[in-house]
Amino acid sequence: MNLIIDGGTILTMDKKGMIKDGAVVIEASDIVDIGKSNKIRHKYHGYEKLNAKGKIVIPGLINTHQHAAMSLLRGYADDFPLNVWLEKKIWPLERYMSGHDIFVGALLTAVESIMGGTTTINSMYHFMEEYNEAQAFQKIGIRAAVGHVCFSWRKKEDKNALHALVKNWHGNSKGLIRATVDPHAPYTVDPKYMKELREITNELNDKYASPRSPIIWHTHVAETEDEPEKIQQAFKMKVKNGVFDYLDSLGVLDKNTIAAHCVALTERDVQILKERKIKTSHNPISNLKLASGICPVPKLLKNKIIVSLGTDSPCSNNSADMFEVMKTTALLHKGVNKNPMLLPAEQILKMATLDGAKALSWEKEIGSIEIGKKADIVVVDFKKPHLTPLYYEPSHLVYSAKAADVETVIVNGKIIMENRELTTVNVEQVMQTAEKTKEKLLNKLG
């Protein structure tokens, strides 16, 4: 399909900056032209037209840390201490989740994500060949990095799952899906297995991927302060200078690694993040809700480390709402650092778009509205009382806009949502299936 998004204010997130009365031209999956509407629109005849007058056009938001299937557990166990939450509530229920349940949960999260302007999800969960998150994302038409989470206690299953995931899905769904290798965390993956996963990843990259679209690592690191102790207890390893220092000593870190949370960092850890060009995913809502700590985002940015944004799972958030994450990020670091100039709106938008793409090593294709990139584009309706009056679009996007203001969503050149109606799936049905699946899960728990 050829499409022209015409008349809106375009936030390109590249050097073109903001274009008022602009137009974006899409041919098939690609952005082929951008500029002032009156300069370029006459060049494209017979293109479908999406009237964006009075609206804001932004690159799709990129959620760099999710466990999409867990939407099925949203609101099941809030306000508990972390260990009770995980060990007594979440894990016992999760144990009953079938492949089909995972598919259903991922479908629900993908719907919620699209409806809130997220066009790319980086999701870590259990991969099964028959039913999995990738199928759900493909069905919705959302872009996703799909991982299989690896633990020491199931090495063999992990290896089979990783091979199946990469073979079947890396580059699949018209390039919308990429596979990732997801060591769960440094305290659940022993050092030997961690190195083995690095080797497996290298092999998989050689066999199935190109440098332009690598199979990356997606892992939790330094989510809580006691992580060094947990590693020491689990594997009798000394962790003296921080968790990244420990991982680096194993030789497993490279630039195609995204580390979620990074709450408890040593100076040495920050140094390693910088030297190894590790990418980070900041998940402020989850970190606050679980009382894990606060990632030193200003320090990371000062060190030119990529900080992208994530919601984390819908049961530690409890939304897949990147607008909420943007505002919370902007507020939190100002507040705790007592500096209202930190993380201004433009910076936050960059974290949620271009830096999200970089964090997934996907910046050649997504993260900005640029000629040659894939058309992952979100149209936000600004004709709302809470977005009135309008002084400066980036401020409104970060501090006032809501997920529900997203009107139309395009992924890979295809309209996935138009005027808040999804084009690829029956939302009512997705909700009904999710509710039924939850009931069945609770019944299994007894």
Q: How far is the CB of 145 from its own copies (least distance, A)?
A: 21
Examine residue 385 and tell whether it contacts its own copies (CB under 8 A). yes
Examine residue 400 and tell whether it contacts its own copies (CB under 8 A). yes
Cβ proximity to its own copies, 62 vs 397, nearer residue: 397
Examine residue 390 and tell whether it contacts its own copies (CB under 8 A). yes
Tell which one of 99, 171, 293, 298 touches its own copies (CB under 8 A).
Answer: 293
Q: How far is the CB of 188 from its own copies (least distance, A)?
A: 20
Handedness of CA 141, 124, 206, 352 (dihedral sign): positive
Examine residue 327 and tell whether it contacts its own copies (CB under 8 A). yes
Are the C-beta atoms of residues 42 and 87 closer than 8 Å to each other?
no
Name the segment binding its own copies (CB under 8 A); options: 42-50, 250-258, 268-276, 330-338.
Answer: 330-338
Are the C-beta atoms of residues 296 and 264 closer than 8 Å to each other?
no
Cβ proximity to its own copies, 385 vs 446, nearer residue: 385
Those residues whose C-beta lies under 8 Å from the C-beta of residue 90, and which sit 6 or more positions away, are 70, 73, 76, 77, 315
Q: Footprint of its own copies on residues 334-363 (CB under 8 A)?
A: 334-345
* Complete DSSP assignment for 279-295: EEEE-HHHHHHTT----
Amino acid identity of residue 47, one-letter, is Y
Examine residue 282 and tell whether it contacts its own copies (CB under 8 A). no
Tell which one of 290, 325, 369, 375 touches its own copies (CB under 8 A).
Answer: 290
Q: How far is the CB of 406 from its own copies (least distance, A)?
A: 11
Cβ proximity to its own copies, 271 vs 319, nearer residue: 319
Examine residue 317 and tell whether it contacts its own copies (CB under 8 A). yes
446: exposed, middle or buried (C-beta count within 10 Å: 0-12, 13-18, 19+)? exposed
Tell which one of 211, 391, 443, 446 touches its own copies (CB under 8 A).
Answer: 391
DSSP-derived pairing of the beta strands 118-125 and 414-418: unpaired
State the residue for tokens 């979440």.
90
Q: How far is the CB of 349 from its own copies (least distance, A)?
A: 12
What Å distances lie between residue 437 and 21, 72, 98, 168, 404, CA to CA? 46, 8, 10, 26, 26
Cβ proximity to its own copies, 80 vs 91, nearer residue: 80
Q: Distance between CA atoms of 12 and 367, rounded to whole angstroms? A: 9
Tell which one of 50, 52, 72, 150 touches its own copies (CB under 8 A).
Answer: 72
Q: How far is the CB of 90 from its own copies (least distance, A)?
A: 12
What is the per-residue binding string for its own copies in 412-441, x denoting contact by CB under 8 A? ---------------x--xx--xx-xxx--
Are the C-beta atoms of residues 321 and 71 closer than 8 Å to each other?
no
Examine residue 319 and tell whether it contacts its own copies (CB under 8 A). yes
Amino acid identity of residue 311, one-letter, is T
Name the segment binding its own copies (CB under 8 A); options: 6-14, 148-156, 249-257, 402-410.
Answer: 402-410
Q: How far is the CB of 68 from its own copies (least distance, A)?
A: 12
Q: Footprint of its own copies on residues 131-170 (CB under 8 A)?
A: none
Site size with its own copies, rule: CB under 8 A: 71
Examine residue 54 and tell whether it contacts its own copies (CB under 8 A). no
Name the segment binding its own copies (CB under 8 A); options: 26-34, 66-74, 141-149, 243-251.
Answer: 66-74
Q: Distance between CA atoms of 48 and 3, rounded to whole angstroms? A: 5
What are φ and ψ of residue 130, in 5° steps?
A: -70, -50
Q: Footprint of its own copies on residues 74-133 (CB under 8 A)?
A: 74-76, 78-82, 85, 108, 111-112, 115-116
Are the C-beta atoms of residues 61 and 350 closer than 8 Å to each other?
no
What Å distances lie between residue 260 and 64, 292, 308, 438, CA to CA? 8, 12, 9, 27
Tell which one of 31, 106, 330, 415 touches its own copies (CB under 8 A).
Answer: 330
Examine residue 239 and tell whether it contacts its own copies (CB under 8 A). no
Tell which one of 26, 209, 216, 285 touches its own copies (CB under 8 A).
Answer: 285
Tell which one of 28, 237, 331, 371 touches its own copies (CB under 8 A).
Answer: 331
Cβ-count burial 189-220 (b if 16+ within 10 Å, e if not): bbbebbebbbebbeebbeebbeeebbbbbbbb
Q: Distance between CA atoms of 160 and 170, rounded to whole angstroms? A: 15
156: exposed, middle or buried (C-beta count within 10 Å: 0-12, 13-18, 19+)? exposed
